[in-house]
Structures are given as C-alpha cells and as structure tokens.
Chains A and B, each alone.
Chain A
Amino acid sequence: KAGVTQTPRYLIKTRGQQVTLSCSPISGHRSVSWYQQTPGQGLQFLFEYFSETQRNKGNFPGRFSGRQFSNSRSEMNVSTLELGDSALYLCASSLEGGRTEAFFGQGTRLTVV
C-alpha cells in the first residue's frame, strides 16, 4: 500500500511570506503528526491530529498551525516566515497515535531566504 506522501518535496520562500505543506497519510490511518527537523535542534514535535482534532501541540509559536480534513489528509501552515524556519518538515501517520507505530513521509525541505 502507498506510504505517507508529502508535497511539495522542496520549497523556497522569502522572509515574511507564508507557506502551506501537505501530508497524505497511509490509508486507514487517522493520526497525523508533524515534526520539524534541523541540524541544531534535531526532530521536534509540532502537533498531532486525530479525526480532525488537534490532540497535542509542541512548543512552537502561533505562526505554526495545522489542520486535518475528514479524509485524514493534513496541512500545516507557517505564516510570516523567518530564516530560522528553514528545516525539513516531516509528517508521520499512524492508526491511532500514541503507542502505535508511526510511519514517516520523506518530508518537505523548506528554505527561507
């Protein structure tokens, strides 16, 4: 079956702009989590959605937001981009979240210039 699909794979944006990233989970998975990966901070949790509801949020500013649709697809949005937002953004899907196995997509590489 198809894995987790993230689009786009690469993105270049200018400071101050906003960006929307998309994640299609594995069929049947209802939990989608987002992580930011940078060389300095490693993998950091952004938020998790289950059945269109945000169940958990990491320690990121309000510029970072997300949502989940009825088909479990998820989007995350970053407004007023800063240079420090340059990172690999990873999406993971699982059946129910928590202790269930999470499968990651290949990520979206965002570069802010």
Chain B
Amino acid sequence: GESVGLHLPTLSVQEGDNSIINCAYSNSASDYFIWYKQESGKGPQFIIDIRSNMDKRQGQRVTVLLNKTVKHLSLQIAATQPGDSAVYFCAENPNSGYALNFGKGTSLLVTP
C-alpha cells in the first residue's frame, strides 16, 4: 500500500552543524506535509508544514523542502543544538482528509 517512509533511522551530528532529515512518500495525492519532533516521554510537537503548491518553507532555524517530482521531503535544521536531539517524524495528509499518515521516524542525536 502507499506509505510515508524515512531514509535513515538514526542520524548523529555535531553541535553547530546543519542536519538534514529525509522522507519519501508514495501517495501522489498527498497535498499537505508536516514535520513533528518527539522528545522522550512527550507527544509529537509541530515543527513546520508545507502545502504541495510550495517547494520550500522556512521557519526559525528549520527549512522544509518538497520535491514533488521524486516525492521527497526533507527537513533542514541549521546550527543544530543539543536540544534538537529527538525523534523526527514526517507526516502526510492525503486527499485533504482528516488523518495523518506518519513515517517511522528518524532519531537525531546531537553530540558536543
């Protein structure tokens, strides 16, 4: 079936470096995508979203890129900090419905 998946289960970066977390999706009907951050013992926290009519969207230290041609989504975190250590999920909202399909998640570890 169609699904949202992540390329890497874990990512280790040094403090101050930029991080890139990737996500592939297969549902061509998806038109809304979201990145969530989940810290241990907490629920997912909204980071940034993007609609399919956009290629790029920037937030505070984060940028989401959407490549509809290859059905690929990425989250870039600038100047990664220890507080960025968490599991990151991409999610899609297919067909403008009311459910989110989540990827498996990428664990980001920031080392000093």
Contact with B along A72-100 (1 / 0, CB 8 A): 00000000000000000010100001110
Question: In which size bucket is the chain B interface?
Answer: 20 to 34
Kindly list chain B residues whose C-beta atoms are within 8 Å of the C-beta of A42: 89, 102-105
Kindly list chain A residues whose C-beta atoms are within 8 Å of the C-beta of B49: 99, 101
- Compute the total of residue contacts between A and B using a CB distance below 8 Å: 59
Size of the chain A interface, CB-CB below 8 angstroms: 25
Kindly list chain B residues whose C-beta atoms are within 8 Å of the C-beta of A92: 43-44
Bound-complex Cα distance A72 to B90 (A): 27
CB distance from B24 to the nearest CB of A (A): 15
CB distance from B4 to the nearest CB of A (A): 9
Q: A58-B99, A97-B98 are in contact. Are A104 and B43 (CB under 8 A)?
A: yes
Query: Pick the contact of B99 from A56, A105, A106, A107 — CB < 8 Å?
Result: A56
**26 pairs, CB–CB < 8 Å, chain A vs chain B:** A33-B98, A35-B102, A42-B102, A42-B103, A42-B104, A43-B89, A43-B91, A43-B100, A55-B98, A56-B97, A56-B98, A90-B44, A92-B43, A92-B44, A97-B98, A98-B96, A98-B97, A99-B49, A99-B96, A102-B34, A102-B46, A102-B100, A106-B41, A106-B42, A106-B43, A107-B43
Chain A residues engaging chain B, CB cutoff 8 angstroms: 4, 31, 33, 35, 42-45, 48, 50, 55-56, 58, 90, 92, 97-99, 101-107
